[in-house]
Amino acid sequence: MSTPLSGACEVRSVRLLSASRDRVFAAWTDPEQLARWWGPKGFTNTFHRFELEPEGIWDFTMHGPNNMDFHNTCVFKRIEPPGYLEFDHLKEMHFYKAIVTLTEVEGGARIEWTTRFDTVEELAPIRAFIERANEENLDKLEALLRHMK
């Protein structure tokens, strides 16, 4: 389970994972692996474009358990293997910056994932959803890492 460390305009999740920092970074940056775990519980993905480079586009559709599709576009801003990844999520209603920091710890890696919105007003109506969705994302990432040992 993550530890909430959220500020007024952001949601932060922190979790210890029993996989190396390199392995966790690969799960975030290899589109095949990322497509397997990204999204809340019950969601699957189709990636249309994945350019892992500064200003590179990550264009994908999330398929919800209710048969609804959600198109998403992100732009990678900073990529510093194996410990830092930053991207902007460009969806009009939910623009945010995602910052992922990985630190090597005994027995695995510590992930700190920050989802930062521009204003409190943008985040407030969806905060509970983002907190829950990020936890479900990390649950799915953990399951992938266990399965691929």
pLDDT grade for 149, boundaries at 50, 70 and 90: low
Q: Is residue 2 part of a domain?
A: no
- Tell me if 4 is assigned to some domain: no
43 is a domain residue? yes
Query: Which domain CATH number covers 51?
Result: 3.30.530.20
Q: Indicate if the pLDDT at residue 3 is higher than 50.
A: no
Structural domain count, the chain: 1
pTM of the entire structure?
0.91
Residue-wise pLDDT tens digits, 81-134: 999 999 999 976 679 999 999 999 999 999 999 999 999 999 999 999 999 999
Complete edge-to-edge strand list for the sheet that includes strand 69-80 = 10-17, 108-116, 96-105, 84-89, 69-80, 57-63, 44-50
> Is residue 1 in some structural domain?
no
What are the tens digits of pLDDT across the range 41-92? 999 999 999 999 999 999 999 999 999 999 999 999 999 999 999 999 997 6
Report if residue 21 sits inside a domain: yes
Cα separation, 141 vs 62, in Å, equals 16
Position 4 pLDDT exceeds 50: no
Structural domain that includes position 34: 10-147
